Amino acid sequence: MKTRQAFNPYLPSWEYVPDAEPHIVDGRVYVYGSHDLFNGLNFCLGDYVCWSAPVDDLGNWTYHGCIYKREQDPAAPRIRLTNGLAAPDMVKGPDGRYYLYYFMGGTKMISVAVCDEPAGKYEFYGYVKYKDGTPIGKRGEPFQFDPGCLMDTDGRLYLYTGFAFGGNPILLDGSQPTKKGPMFFELDPSDMLTVISGDELKYIGVLTGEEAKGTAFESQPFGEASSMRKFNGKYYFIYSSLNSHNLCYAVSDYPDHGFEYGGVLVSCGDVGLPGVPDTAHARMCTGNTHGSLIEIEGKYYVFYHRHSNRKQSSRQACAEEIRFEDGKFYQAEMTSCGLNRGPLAGKGHYPSYIACNVYGINGTRFMSMFKYRKGSNPYLTQSGKDREEGEDQFVANFCEGCTVGYKYFDLRETKTLKINLVGHGNGCTVTVRTEENGKPIARIPVESTKEEKGFSGKLPDGLGEKKALYFSLEGKGSLKIVSFDLM
């Protein structure tokens, strides 16, 4: 039974778990992902942690702590900064144990850890290897990266890996990116490690680079982030395209060939939705994304991540309900209500960090590993240190001409909105809209305040059952949006 509303990001605001692979075990959704640090210098610098929630209460997440440390892998390089634990995937073996497949920078191999419980303390198990014992990645193959696994309904075990970005010499570490898309390996389920599909490399036909030109994959060629799911007898390969901000899919009747391009599942800037033709018009600063699909109690969800702190390596886990009809998925939009299975309540207290649209008067940008200048751009950040628990995240630099949007609320009985601010705002007005470029439904005068202070405005009656809220600032100011209250 549902006890809490679900927001995006669905984990606490101090947690940074991107690249999520969700799996259901005994009525709970477990999320396996990499682990960024707030304001980290690079991706994936933390050890693996695990969170889970009941399938009927997706706002009620439990922290299971660290499940695997980088140093447990015998091949762990001494330097962590460029050799973190990248996106993992989990599969349950025929022996009832849980196997975590992962890539660690500096090794060129796919490693495996094992545990008797889905979120217990995993132990190093071995490296995926050919029959002669050579680990995959050690024969000069294209770069092994971001393993995705599938234990099929007939008990056969499949592994998918690959990386097609050619301009990352630090990550590639002397290896070559794949020019033929993701690689495929069938593994022996008796030991969960040994390749039984042969020594010759196999590709599933999700195309990239030159091979994608003139095909349906040309607009969204394979980049990275392999994940495989099976729905209604068909195989759905999920991947991040070379456009990076798009999570896409391809579909086939077979696990190892015959894949056709399906479409975009989600963009971490809503690029591709009506009114958002390209990254110049993105509704959130873009960067890479990675995730997967899952069915939960008859509904389908896409898991992905967003970016914060004005750089690409402070990523947070998000999820959206996604339309699935006649075997086809349709692009989901970024929302604040994500896993909530409907709009958020029109009365209550909401933290500002659940914003799903954050952009300035000059739009947004594609994040790099270095912080961009604040300028006239609002952004998500926190004041505390990494893993300093407490809902500390907020929208900073709320200034003239910017927009901060929240979707969706049931506003049929909402009478008043109070926005809680800190900063410089003398002579400024917060405008409130239910449509991005619509007429204001409220204008709330604000003033400078050194401590958090609420400013209230009346809302029209009966705004609707599923409405967005967009905040903009008129006047010369720079404020921190801490939270807002609907009454």
The pLDDT tens digits for 433-448 are 999 999 999 999 999 9
Q: Yes or no: say if 413 and 459 are a contact pair by the CB < 8 Å rule.
A: no
Domain span at 293: 21-340
Residues 61 and 90 in one domain: yes
Residues 461 and 393 in one domain: yes
Residues 218 and 357 in one domain: no
Q: 11: helix, coil or strand?
A: coil
In the block, residue with structure tokens 């500096």: 106
Q: How far apart are CA 357 and CA 199, in angstroms?
A: 47
Residue 415 sits in a domain whose CATH number is: 2.60.120.260
- Asked, for residue 4, whether it belongs to a domain, the answer is no
Residues 236 and 320 in one domain: yes
- Asked, for residue 9, whether it belongs to a domain, the answer is no
Residues 413-428, mean pLDDT to the nearest whole number: 97
Residues 59-73, mean pLDDT to the nearest whole number: 98
Residues 234 and 312 in one domain: yes
Of the three residues 286, 321, 340, the one that is the final residue of a domain is 340
Residues 88 and 187 in one domain: yes
Q: How far apart are CA 313 and CA 44, in angstroms?
A: 8
The pLDDT tens digits for 163-191 are 999 987 667 888 999 999 999 999 999 99
Of the three residues 311, 340, 369, the one that is the final residue of a domain is 340
Q: Which of 483, 435, 137, 433 is nearest to 275 (CA)?
A: 435
Q: Yes or no: say if 12 and 6 are a contact pair by the CB < 8 Å rule.
A: no
Q: Yes or no: say if 160 and 145 are a contact pair by the CB < 8 Å rule.
A: no
- Asked, for residue 154, whether it belongs to a domain, the answer is yes
Q: Give every CB contact of residue 486 below 8 A, 6+ residues apart in sequence.
A: 345, 346, 347, 348, 350, 409, 411, 414, 416, 417
The pLDDT tens digits for 461-487 are 999 999 999 999 999 999 999 999 999
Residues 287 and 356 in one domain: no
The pLDDT tens digits for 86-120 are 999 999 999 999 999 999 999 999 999 999 999 99
Q: How far apart are CA 324 and CA 337, in angstroms?
A: 19
Q: Three-state SS string across 261-329, please?
A: EEEEEEECCCCCCCCCCCHHHCCCCECCCCCEEEEECCEEEEEEEEECCCCCCCEEEEEEECEEECCEE
Q: How far apart are CA 19 and CA 21, in angstroms?
A: 7
Residues 322 and 367 in one domain: no
Q: Give every CB contact of residue 296 below 8 A, 6+ residues apart in sequence.
A: 24, 29, 55, 58
Of the three residues 313, 340, 367, the one that is the final residue of a domain is 340
Residue 65 sits in a domain whose CATH number is: 2.115.10.20
> Looking at the 3D structure of the chain, how many domains does it have?
2
pTM for the model? 0.98
- Asked, for residue 13, whether it belongs to a domain, the answer is no
> According to the model, what pLDDT value does residue 389 have?
82
Q: Residue 328 is which amino acid?
A: K
The pLDDT tens digits for 253-268 are 999 999 999 999 999 9
Residues 431 and 290 in one domain: no
> According to the model, what pLDDT value does residue 392 have?
87
- Asked, for residue 16, whether it belongs to a domain, the answer is no
Query: Cα–chain-centroid distance for residue 459?
Result: 34
- Judge whether residue 45 has pLDDT over 90: yes
Residues 333 and 477 in one domain: no
Which active-site residues does the annotation give? 19, 224
In a 13 Å sphere around the CA of 171, the CA atoms on its Cβ side amount to 21
CB-based burial label for 249 (10 Å; 0-12, 13-18, 19+): buried
Q: Yes or no: say if 303 and 266 are a contact pair by the CB < 8 Å rule.
A: no
Residues 77 and 203 in one domain: yes
In the block, residue with structure tokens 């991540």: 305
- Asked, for residue 310, whether it belongs to a domain, the answer is yes
Residue 312: phi and psi, rounded to 5, are -90, -10
- Asked, for residue 11, whether it belongs to a domain, the answer is no
Q: How far apart are CA 117 and CA 105, in angstroms?
A: 26
Q: State the DSSP string of 394-436.
A: EEEEEEBT-EEEEEEE--TT--EEEEEEEEE-TTEEEEEESST
- Asked, for residue 2, whether it belongs to a domain, the answer is no
Residues 476 and 380 in one domain: yes
* CA dihedral angle for residue 20, residue 21, residue 23, residue 28, rounded to 10 degrees: -10
